Amino acid sequence: MKDDIIYLVLLASCIGFGQIYRKFIDPEHKKLIGTGFGLLVVLSVSGFHMLHMLFCYLVSALLIIYASRKICHLVCFGFMFGYLFFFRSLSLLGYDSPPGHTNMIQMILTLKLVGLAFEVNNAYTKAKTIDESKKGSAENEKQAQPAAPAALNDADRALLKLDMLDIFHYSFNYVGILTGPYITFKTYRDAIYLPFSGKADCVGATLEKMKVIPLYAGLFLLVSYIWPLGYATSEEFYEDRSFFYRLMYVWPTFFIFRMRIYTGILLSECVCTMAGVGAYPKLCASKPGHGPSKEDYNAVVSPSSSLEYDFETVRNIDVINTERCWTFREAMKYWNMCVQYWMAMYVYKRFPSKKYRTLATLAVSAIWHGVYAGYYFCICGAPFYLPIEDLYVKLFIKDATGQKRTVLNVLCWISKFFAFSYLGIAFLLLTVDKIWYYYSSVYYIGYILWIVLYGVGVLIANQRKAKAKKEAKLQQQASKQD
């Protein structure tokens, strides 16, 4: 609770500071003020452990600027994730462990610096493709040429001209420095140089998000008081409680986890909205993490234009859809969306093997979350549940209608939250001994149930295929006789 209180005080300070930050119009002043306050937040949380962040910035900045842009993203990825592992292993080496909030700052810094290296690589690849296209058309103007890629925009040119100071300001700007959401360098740069933050209703957007935060925080406090996580590691829990009670205990513990995450993520979104970061006209069709889908801002930057604005770029969670959607797969899309964008763009789409890219992405996500075994049990367990859900959706729900469809959807919703809760208890218990002790106390029923369900589902699917082939064969014989 002490860490949570510190976290809330810092986030509240960052939200309040946004009212001052937005008033700075000059880009250079805005950079200096935002970075100065960000460094103050890091120092207040981390103390001398701040040296880790400064070292990571220095090495990554040198790699991004001076390493070959063909491989700078890969080298930076290896360095930052390697250092993240070392950073979390300090206690095993006999050194003091960094504070919990320092770990969160290091996590976000890892995404930002590696993401920046990928952005630079993308801009370099784009520029190179344009140059090659121009050379090809010059050599043979009469020969039909493939369509040339779009010209470099301001963000691309800025990425190709980065210096140490640009990277420093991006790394330590106070917006999102604690727990995100992840914002690209392009989004950061737009917030500095474009006038959108002065036109968007930043206060209104912030208040709209803050309306529901007391509800989630209150539910977190209430349910954690009635069903504390610590009770799941006590002797009484395993000796005096029934199998059914122990099994059902995953529901309130995961509910507590969700309410805590909802509160934290929405507060971190409020830091962005109050600062005006991520504000774009609605016609730009912004997406979480990515920013505007339409890249041409020339038509919307004019002072006389009157437009509606949104903060979709920094929307990190969709609580309503997370709770009410029917399937596990769909719920994953609404959770930590800006980080998911990072994982999709820089791991999933870049991974060379299509067969293993999902597993690789989830493994990177687990590594990013921490070194505890619980993160791997939880996050890497998802790829084994998803095929089961997909199979049953295809077999029974896809073609169902009316009341039958509703009943099946509800059953799928219950299964979704049981899967989240059963896997999520490992995320909360963290260590192998506690996780295995809990799962053995409920006889690994979740894993056994999923194995049985998958086997039954495959059997049903094979029977349907055999039946369909048989019917098709009979129809062919009948048509030949006719």
CA–CA distance, 172 with 398 (Å, rounded to integer) = 48
Choosing from 103, 173, 316, 336, the catalytic residue is 336
Choosing from 321, 369, 409, 462, the catalytic residue is 369
CB-based contacts of 296, cutoff 8 Å, min separation 6: none
Instruction: Compute the residue count for the chain.
Output: 482
Residue 310 pairs in a beta bridge with 280
CA–CA distance, 376 with 382 (Å, rounded to integer) = 10
Contact 80, 114 (CB under 8 A): yes
Per-residue exposure over 310-336, b if at least 16 CB sit within 10 Å of its own CB, e if not: bbbbbbbbebeebeebbbbeebbebbb
Annotation marks residue 336 as catalytic:
yes
The CA distances from residue 325 to 158, 230, 329, 409, 410, in Å, are 40, 30, 9, 9, 10
CA–CA distance, 22 with 18 (Å, rounded to integer) = 6
Angle at 145 between CA 139 and CA 149, to 5 degrees: 105
* Burial of residue 378, with CB atoms counted within 10 A of its CB: 0-12 exposed, 13-18 middle, 19 or more buried: buried
Annotation marks residue 369 as catalytic:
yes
CA–CA distance, 247 with 392 (Å, rounded to integer) = 23
Candidates 368, 34, 23, 345; CA nearest to 168 is 34
CA–CA distance, 348 with 336 (Å, rounded to integer) = 16
Residues involved in catalysis: 336, 369
